[in-house]
Structure 1
């Protein structure tokens, strides 16, 4: 296994999905993540991973033998065009439409699309608009 850079300051450190059909999930996530410019980081007989996303079968020792429930999570995109590309690629690789690319009312410039992965997880891809593109973290003090 490779050594990876540790990122601090994010709310979510990593996410594991335990899926019914690992091959179907690998086709979907390889395509979606590839459209985002994120390659798979590694794989084994009963798992694969990319960045902080780990996906395994129920038979994996990392799964405790149970599928995860339906989840909603979002991937960040660098532009509206990337949101549109990810949505199209996801549909072509086993995903189902759960919201076409478009402006959402969450904040000005919020442009997103939603896909259901092969297990029914709601996978969002979002571009936060030009006013919110900073790669730097924002620290809020209370």
Structure 2
């Protein structure tokens, strides 16, 4: 691990996506992470990670079992403008549109955008509307 500090406190501990083209995925995710304000946590020859998302090649030691199909992953956005910027950055970085930014019927105030990453995974940024959080983030230092 390249850093001795991580952020925790959300529902998901981590997700791993196994991808065909690590360089294409790195370009895509670095672009959308930049918009969302998520720093890259670390990387190696066959993987990279940020927050709870770990992305690797099929031959990485971390990629065990059979390759699976599409996945859906949603990132939290701080406002509607960030959702819009996420969508634009993702398309410019090789993603494909899977739902332009806009209100969704899931609950009042749900504003999201969907793109397919280079491997066809459905990646979303969502702003749930104005809310009060007890803390911006949870910081864990080792």
Q: Which residue of 1 aligns with 2:49?
A: 49
Q: Which residue of 1 aligns with 2:89?
A: 89
Higher relative contact order (CA 8 A, sep 6+): 2
Once the two structures are superposed, the pairs formed by residues 16-55 of structure 1 within 5 Å of their partners are 16-55=16-55
Once the two structures are superposed, the pairs formed by residues 93-104 of structure 1 within 5 Å of their partners are 93-104=93-104
Q: Which residue of 1 aligns with 2:134?
A: 136
Q: Which residue of 2 aligns with 1:140?
A: none
Does 2:72 correspond to 1:77? Answer: no
Tell me the TM-score normalized by structure 1: 0.89
**How many residues get paired?**
134
SS of 1:126's partner is: strand
Q: Which residue of 1 aligns with 2:139?
A: none
Tell me the TM-score normalized by structure 2: 0.89
Once the two structures are superposed, the pairs formed by residues 58-73 of structure 1 within 5 Å of their partners are 58-64=58-64, 66-73=66-73
Please list every run of 5 or more consecutive structure 2 residues that lacks an aligned counterpart in the other structure: 136-142
Please list every run of 5 or more consecutive structure 1 residues that lacks an aligned counterpart in the other structure: 138-142
SS of 2:114's partner is: strand
Query: What whole-Å deviation, never above 9, does each CA across 1:65-92 have from its counterpart, x for those lacking one?
Result: 6434200110000000000000000000
Cα distance change on mapping 1:44 and 1:113 into 2, 3 Å: same
Cα distance change on mapping 1:6 and 1:114 into 2, 3 Å: closer
Residues in 1 aligned to 2:72 and 2:7: alpha-carbon distance in whole angstroms: 24
How much is the aligned-residue C-alpha RMSD, in angstroms?
Answer: 1.5
Residues in 2 aligned to 1:73 and 1:116: alpha-carbon distance in whole angstroms: 10
